[in-house]
Amino acid sequence: MKFYLDEDISPRVAEIARGRCQLDIISAHEVGTHAWADAAQLRYAAERGRCIVCRNRDDFSRETRSAYEAQSVHAGVLILSHSLPDDRFTPIAAALCAYDVRFPAGMQTYTIEFLGPSTSG
């Protein structure tokens, strides 16, 4: 599975996840897209077959509905729960690694899921 971190998640999460479980993950900060609007972020991720990982549930739910109505490319949205605080980079990376193990083929088109803490450490 391939992930793309929205600008609201520290690029440190991507660094940790790559080191921890060789996750295929990039950050908006790393690729210079951090100032883009949500619709552009979602499209960028989807065009590269990457699930977008974010915090802003309402905006990306709305963008997903718009993508569905337009039948635009979409590779899924993972919304980080409040139980994964912004400054807890390692638990966020661990949760993404665990998600990747459970769903290596990725998410179905237009899927939105919530990601909580990993129980695997």
Note the pLDDT tens digit of each residue in 64-98.
999 999 999 999 999 999 999 989 999 999 999 99
Query: Which residues fall within 8 angstroms of residue 3, CB to CB, at 6 or more apart?
Result: 14, 17, 23, 24, 25, 26, 50, 51, 52, 53, 78, 96, 100
CB atoms within 10 A of CB 31: 13
pTM over 0.95: no
* DSSP letter, residue 36: S
The whole-angstrom separation of Cα 119 and Cα 66 is 34
Work out the burial of residue 70: count CB atoms within 10 Å of its CB; fewer than 13 is exposed, 13-18 middle, 19 or more buried: exposed
What are the pLDDT digits (tens) for 39-60?
A: 999 999 999 999 999 999 999 9
Per-residue pLDDT at 119 exceeds 80: no
